[in-house]
Amino acid sequence: MSWDSLGKGGRWAVGLLLAVALLLAGAVAAGSVAAAELEEVVARGELIWAADQEGGGPHVFLDPKNPSQLTGFEVELAELLAAELGVKARFQQGQWDRLPLLLGRTADCVINGIELTPGRQRDYRCSRPYFAYALQLVARRDAPLTSFERLESLGPHGRWRVGVLTGSAAEILMRGRAGLEVDVVGYDGTVDCLEQVTTGVLDATVLDDCIASFYADRFPRLRAVDRPQAGGFYTILTPPDTPHLSAKIDEALGRLLTDGRLKQLYDSWDLAGRQQVLLLRDADEIPPAPRDSWGHLLRSALPLLLSAAGMTVLLSAASFPLAILIGLAVAIGRLYGPPLLRPLLAGYVEVLRGTPLMLQLYALFFLLPKIGLALPALAAAIIGLALNYSAYESEIYRAGLKAVPGGQFEAALALGMTKWQALRHVIVPQAVRIVMPPVTSDFIALFKDTSVCSAITVIELTKRYSVLALSTGRIVELAVVTALLYLAMSWPMALVSRWLERRLERTGAARQP
Amino acid sequence: MITVESVAAFRAGVRVLEDVSLNVPAGTVTTLVGPSGSGKSTLLRCLNGLETLAAGSVEIAGHRLTAGPQSPRRLELLRRDVGMVFQQFNLFPHLSVLDNVALPPRVIRQMPAAEARAQAQTLLERVGLAHLADVRPTALSGGQQQRVAIARSLAMEPRVMLFDEPTSALDPAMSGEVLEVILGLARAGQTMVVVTHDHSFARRVATQVAELVAGRVVRQGTAAEVL
């Protein structure tokens, strides 16, 4: 069987399978890379610690008075620890829910409010606790949410919408507790949650008590509701194969705890140092969780992955036709519309093309509610994708319209058609045929770009995979399942694009002698 | 049927017509001859408003064009009564031959699709191409394409037909079949203006010949007088 005999769809599939194989090989290779052990850290003279500065205060954040300066109690803790190891501390930025993926690659350890859980005990080396947290419910002062128990019955608008940091203990608590009438929405940052509670998109958020009190002044319309719920401890993560580094970090934490420096640090951040020290001293050991069997993992993960794949399909199928319609309208407006409209449309295209999709989604979802226009996340995602891609589509259609020979327009006008009749019946049908190949390839691009929507709480396949992989520790196995799901979706798309191309050849593109 | 009075026109800032006057009675055929660049095509395009008049006026099939831009509505109404056939045919490549001919009345006059297609079939028979109704224009020879273009113009039942060098893009064998169709129209009493380099054809078809040189009508009369 030759390469050509495979046909377009076949070659596509082979390409995808190759990509999956490469990904697997990469994952296996990554697993075998030795993590930076203690000797290497010492030789390097730097302890590289990972955190997310977007995660906010009081952990790690940019100093509002000096925005180039990173500050937070964990920044100071990292410096103390590094000094104990006889090295300097170096910060490595990462997205909070994916920080553990940096371990052994670009970071020696993660210090960023990582809760000590049985799952993490199983998948990483966890240091002894360095901070005790409790989970606090926060709502608007004027909201009818007066106690945690109130979440057990429906609110004035049905189920309560509660935001949590994706992958956090708050998410585990809210998703795991039985009897709550709550829709849990995962965010990438706790400050985003607080913003969305203020604007009314969310009814409440659950976050670590230290964060709630840190931001209390910045969000005066919010208040802590009820006593803190469940709590636990923060731990420093190191890779599984670094026993020496992890032991050294435990020793150092022990010294900081007993000689009063940790208390001093927490007191300076208004974090009740004495209470912290007492809680940390008496913390119980948490045993690691058993690893799920492969069958059990599939049974629990597959339905979640499938519904996330459904979301990926929904996002692409709903946004792309909109993008095409808007793009075509913009292209026609720029070429044939009133002269006053043309620079406005050109501006529309340049703004949408010149700014990142992520930023546009962010604006739609987080900024519009500030002017009283709260869009549901799914609507914001579809509109955002449609607007962003409409700019690219309009440029493709503009090229397509210009590629139709000028004699066509003249012939239509000479018959007595209006400008719009000529466009509708003569010019646009030909332009659509000309641009079919680039438009199809744009659809595939959009299909993949749907993963950006996870930034505004829409859980599609890539996001669902990353959450599941981190919570179960089955990173490679779930990657295979996810890749197969993507293949199952892109395969029919390849078939459709092939069918369209064949149809295009039969009907003939605009060719004039 | 057509009265051209003291028309001047510019193309790309260059004066290409100056003080042109012409009269075409109903049921007659006028051919415009002259060297390349003499303005004969521009004059033809002035007759259906594809070019804007810089001065003078045109009356055609009961419509009137004056100097300066005309309203789109006025041009649309005029062009429905004035068909035009181009040197490069300009058939619509995304439609079948039959749909090329059926499209104008369907879109412009809201004629029901079945009726438009039946009329198109009749017109294709008239130009001898009924057997090619279902193929794409790109599969046709140049001569066949030009005959379809004529049928497409006739579908609007125009009172005047304009031909802009209808055989210049064709080799002699193909020109013949197109010229036969035009002669047939002339015999049926269709008012026509034909721009052509083909003097023998002009002699056969023309009631009147106008010769243009450098944007002016230098001679006007019967074919025998002018050619």
pLDDT tens, residue by residue, A133-175: 999 999 999 989 989 999 999 988 899 999 999 888 999 899 8
Interface of B with A (CB under 8 A): 48, 50, 72, 75-80, 83-84, 86, 88-94, 103-104, 107-108, 136, 138, 142, 145, 152-153, 156, 169
Find chain A residues with C-beta within 8 A of B145's C-beta: 513
Chain A residue with the nearest C-alpha to that of B47: A414
Strand order in the sheet with B82-85: B82-85, B160-164, B191-195, B29-33, B208-213, B216-221
Q: From the list B84, B90, B136, which residue is nearest A408 (CB)?
A: B90
Tally DSSP H helices, then E strands, for chain B: 8, 10
Q: Where are the domains of chain B?
A: 2-226
Please provide residue B25's backbone torsions phi and psi, each rounded to the nearest 5 degrees. Answer: -70, 155
Q: From the list B72, B136, B142, which residue is nearest A418 (CB)?
A: B72
Over its C-alpha atoms, chain A yields an Rg (Å, rounded) of 27
Return the axis-axis angle of helices A294-336 and A428-449, rounded to nearest 10°. 150
Find chain A residues with C-beta within 8 A of B101's C-beta: none
pLDDT (tens, 9 = 90+) of chain A, 513 residues, equals 344 444 544 555 556 566 665 665 555 444 444 556 888 888 899 999 999 988 788 999 988 888 888 999 999 999 999 999 999 999 999 988 888 888 888 899 999 999 998 889 888 999 999 999 999 999 999 989 989 999 999 988 899 999 999 888 999 899 888 889 999 999 888 998 999 999 888 999 999 999 999 999 999 999 999 899 888 999 999 998 899 999 999 999 999 988 889 999 999 999 988 888 888 888 777 777 777 788 888 888 899 999 999 999 999 999 999 999 999 999 999 999 999 999 999 999 999 999 999 999 999 988 888 888 888 889 999 999 999 999 999 999 999 999 999 999 999 999 999 999 999 999 999 998 888 888 888 888 898 889 899 888 888 899 889 888 887 878 888 999 999 998 888 888 778 877 877 776 665 443 333
What pLDDT sits at residue A19? Answer: 62
In chain A, positions 478-497, which contact chain B (CB-CB < 8 Å)?
A: none
Q: From the list B76, B90, B142, which residue is nearest A416 (CB)?
A: B76
The whole domain housing A1 covers 1-33
Chain A residue with the nearest C-alpha to that of B80: A416
Does the distance separating the beta carbons of B90 and A410 come in below 8 Å?
yes
Q: From the list A411, A416, A429, which residue is nearest B108 (CB)?
A: A416
Q: From the list B48, B76, B94, which residue is nearest A418 (CB)?
A: B76
DSSP letters for A211-270: HHHHTTTT-TTEEEESS--SEEEE--EE-TT-HHHHHHHHHHHHHHHHTSHHHHHHHHTT
Residues A193 and A302 in one domain: no
- CATH value at residue A391: 1.10.3720.10
A347 Cβ under 8 Å from any chain B Cβ:
no
Does the distance separating the beta carbons of A430 and B72 come in below 8 Å?
no
The predicted-structure confidence for B163-213, as pLDDT tens digits, reads as follows: 999 999 898 888 999 999 999 999 999 999 999 999 999 999 999 999 999
How distant is the Cα of B60 from the closest Cα of chain A, in angstroms? 14
What pLDDT sits at residue A1? Answer: 36
How distant is the Cα of B164 from the closest Cα of chain A, in angstroms? 12
Residues A86 and A3 in one domain: no
A431 Cβ under 8 Å from any chain B Cβ:
no
How distant is the Cα of A418 from the closest Cα of chain B, in angstroms? 6
CA nearest B38: which of B14, B59, B66, B57? B14
DSSP letters for A270-325: TS-HHHHHHHHHTPPP-PPPPPPPHHHHHHHHHHHHHHHHHHHHHHHHHHHHHHHH
Q: Report how far residue B13's alpha carbon sits from residue A494's, in angstroms, rounded to the nearest whole number.
A: 52
Q: Look at residue A354 and tell me if it is in a domain.
A: yes
Residues A397 and A477 in one domain: yes
**Beta-bridge partners for A155:** A158
Q: Look at residue A99 and tell me if it is in a domain.
A: yes
Q: Look at residue A288 and tell me if it is in a domain.
A: no
Q: Look at residue A289 and tell me if it is in a domain.
A: no
A512 Cβ under 8 Å from any chain B Cβ:
yes
Burial class (CB in 10 A: 0-12, 13-18, 19+), A191: buried
Find chain B residues with C-beta within 8 A of A420's C-beta: none
The predicted-structure confidence for B58-100, as pLDDT tens digits, reads as follows: 999 999 999 999 999 999 999 999 999 999 999 999 999 999 9
Give the strand pairing for A237-238 and B63-66.
unpaired
How distant is the Cα of A327 from the closest Cα of chain B, in angstroms? 22
Q: Look at residue A17 and tell me if it is in a domain.
A: yes
A429 Cβ under 8 Å from any chain B Cβ:
yes
Does the distance separating the beta carbons of A415 and B104 come in below 8 Å?
yes
Residues A124 and A50 in one domain: yes
Over its C-alpha atoms, chain B yields an Rg (Å, rounded) of 17
**Beta-bridge partners for A70:** A62
How distant is the Cα of A436 from the closest Cα of chain B, in angstroms? 14
Residues A276 and A311 in one domain: no
> Distances in Å between the alpha carbon of A166 and those of A93, A124, A183, B53?
17, 19, 14, 70
Does the distance separating the beta carbons of A410 and B108 come in below 8 Å?
no
Q: From the list A407, A412, A414, which residue is nearest B88 (CB)?
A: A407
Chain B residue with the nearest C-alpha to that of A414: B79
A415 Cβ under 8 Å from any chain B Cβ:
yes
How distant is the Cα of B67 from the closest Cα of chain A, in angstroms? 19
Chain A residue with the nearest C-alpha to that of B81: A416
Residues A224 and A239 in one domain: no
A408 Cβ under 8 Å from any chain B Cβ:
yes
What pLDDT sits at residue A29? Answer: 47
A384 contact partners, CB below 8 Å, separation of at least 6: A357, A360, A361, A364, A365, A453, A456
Q: Report how far residue B125's alpha carbon sits from residue B131's, in angstroms, rounded to the nearest whole number.
A: 8
What pLDDT sits at residue A33? Answer: 44
Could you give the number of structural domains in chain A? Answer: 4
Chain B residue with the nearest C-alpha to that of A511: B93
**Beta-bridge partners for B163:** B85, B194
A422 Cβ under 8 Å from any chain B Cβ:
no
> Distances in Å between the alpha carbon of B81 and those of A296, A315, B95, B108, B204?
78, 50, 23, 12, 25
Find chain A residues with C-beta within 8 A of B76's C-beta: 416-418
How distant is the Cα of B1 from the closest Cα of chain A, in angstroms? 18
Token pair belonging to A420? 């719009």
Q: Look at residue A512 and tell me if it is in a domain.
A: no
Q: Mutation test of the interface with chain A: which of B100, B107, B141, choosing the one with the most A Cβ atoms within 10 A?
A: B107
Find chain B residues with C-beta within 8 A of A416's C-beta: 76-80, 104, 108, 156
Q: From the list A408, A417, A513, which residue is nearest B107 (CB)?
A: A417
Domain B2-226 top-level CATH class: alpha beta
Does the distance separating the beta carbons of A425 and B94 come in below 8 Å?
no
Q: Look at residue A286 and tell me if it is in a domain.
A: no
Does the distance separating the beta carbons of A414 and B84 come in below 8 Å?
yes
Residues A159 and A252 in one domain: no
Q: From the list B50, B142, B145, which residue is nearest A414 (CB)?
A: B50
A403 Cβ under 8 Å from any chain B Cβ:
no
Q: Look at residue A420 and tell me if it is in a domain.
A: yes
Residues A56 and A91 in one domain: yes
